A and B are shown apart, each in its own frame.
Chain A
């Protein structure tokens, strides 16, 4: 569980990135943090594994204040994947990249071997095992960064913009993997601009603006409230845009899922034919 209370954070250059954030993320929740550039999303999640410490307020992860423990021990529990994979990757081969944290956490050699194989397989990277991460494409490097964190099986997974550079199939795999993590009681927090991905997953959405949370609720509800979204520089998902305009014809406004949209439209068209 992550408990944040009146969190403030000021960068050394004086920029106040968080201005009093309070929230609770329960074990097993899937949360998407959205909002315009500079809203404080990345700053907030960097507190979840202790990379940043509050200027004021408290943050507890599983009951322990992040100020009372080290980043090393926090990160065993909360794995963080950066927005830009190049900020994270440094090894000669993909395999070594993934092994690095596992070795640091003291896993046994054979376990490391198994975890590497598992993670590479999961992210469709098996053929790059011996390749340098820097020879891979942007989307592939992003998946290497993800694999290196998934490999140690953290209880809390924090992903900053996980869908950048990913094609539709990779996004679908990521979605299924997140669902699987949830069924294991793990917590997943993503920071994302990808409204279409969020509309496919329908997680709890936290909308941030200028260092505070301006909306908190079910994705389906928040992504169909244009007044709130526009202020946070978010565009409505395509399906929501269509239903917003069909509302005068008696359609519900809160539709984001393409399959639900299809059912509703078919039903209506059949009724009309009768």
Chain B
């Protein structure tokens, strides 16, 4: 079932001379974990802002084309009406947090839905624990570190359990192990609750392994759209500045030298280790 669909979506910011996204037509299936990447300034964040209706309701400018998320036209329904359907974690958490305590920030969306008090408490606790900030719940979101703020922003969106979660470089301020744990949590929710995940990331070393589907953008346009293993095995992705995982890159270099490593492109060090162990055994016998 298609959960996100855009057709020839084109948007120009007020005062902008060229569109930030240009003729973007994508389809995302329900339950997919989708990775959007591409050079800095290619329109990834702009596309995210369309998905929850910030464009056109908050950002003016010129929007053309069609977009539906969970069957709803996001240009016709305001961002708050979409809150149960789609949640967005901003690139810069400071732009998202506002309440006096972390707990209140996470509860805010649920209060607006009119959720019963007890259920709300449970949900908030669940989200705070998942993101490992339960102990910080009484602190102000503005006095914790950038990394902690990112956890709060993620918790606030998870608490809503929307059908689609859009995350725009959600862990850029977190240390690698913490970032990995957050991605694991999101991946689990994707698998267990069937929440569709749209993740914008440059660091494919950390994230490519989770993706069922990858979209690569360049200068406002979608240039690749499909299976991550297939797409990351093409030379062109590297040429437009996509940092393919090191394990994938090493695999390509070895293949180019004529080493037989099979046809399944590795996306993680685990994948590559297995492929290499196998190759080293085969050579042994030969």
Interface residues of A, Cβ cutoff 8 Å to B: 13, 35-38, 83-84, 86, 132, 135-140, 143, 161, 164-171, 193-196, 199, 230, 232-235, 237-239, 241-242, 245-246, 249, 258-259, 261-262, 265-266, 268-269, 272-273
Contact = CB atoms under 8 A, between A and B. Distances in A.
Contact of A258 (B178, B250, B279): B250
A243 B259 CA distance: 18
B178 A196 contact: no
30 contacts: A37-B148, A38-B145, A86-B92, A140-B41, A161-B172, A164-B173, A165-B40, A165-B91, A167-B38, A168-B242, A168-B243, A168-B244, A170-B40, A193-B174, A193-B176, A196-B203, A196-B243, A199-B246, A233-B175, A233-B177, A237-B205, A241-B269, A242-B273, A245-B277, A246-B276, A246-B280, A262-B253, A262-B254, A266-B259, A269-B279
Nearest to A270: B283
B259 A36 contact: no
B134 interface: no
A168 B241 contact: yes
Nearest to A272: B283
Contact of B146 (A84, A258, A265, A272): A84
Contacts of A139: 40-41, 202
A242 B254 contact: no
A53 B11 CA distance: 47
A132 B15 CA distance: 10
B94 A170 contact: no
Contact of B243 (A35, A171, A262): A171
Contacts of B145: 37-38
B261 to A, nearest CB: 10
A166 to B, nearest CB: 6
A163 B206 CA distance: 14
Interface of B: 13, 15-16, 38-41, 44-45, 91-92, 94, 143, 145-148, 169, 172-180, 202-203, 205, 238, 241-247, 249-250, 253-254, 257, 259, 268-270, 272-273, 276-277, 279-280, 283-284, 286
A268 B279 CA distance: 11
B139 to A, nearest CB: 11
Contacts of A140: 40-41
A138 B268 CA distance: 27
Contacts of A170: 39-40, 241
Nearest to A137: B41
A169 B259 CA distance: 27
Contacts of B269: 238-239, 241-242, 245
Contacts of B44: 137
Given A233-B175, A249-B280, A258-B253, A238 B246 contact: yes
Given A165-B169, A242-B276, A269-B259, 8 more contacts: A86-B94, A137-B40, A143-B40, A161-B172, A193-B175, A239-B246, A266-B259, A269-B283
A265 B277 CA distance: 11
A266 B246 contact: no
Contact of B242 (A135, A166, A167, A268): A167
Given A135-B15, A249-B277, A272-B280, A238 B268 contact: yes
A246 B277 contact: yes
A138 to B, nearest CB: 5
A84 B253 CA distance: 36
B91 A238 contact: no
A262 B250 contact: yes
Contacts of B244: 168
A51 B257 CA distance: 52
B177 A234 contact: yes
B46 to A, nearest CB: 8
Contacts of B16: 135
Query: Which 7 pairs between the two chains have the least Cβ-Cβ distance?
Result: A139-B40, A168-B243, A169-B241, A241-B269, A272-B283, A233-B177, A37-B147
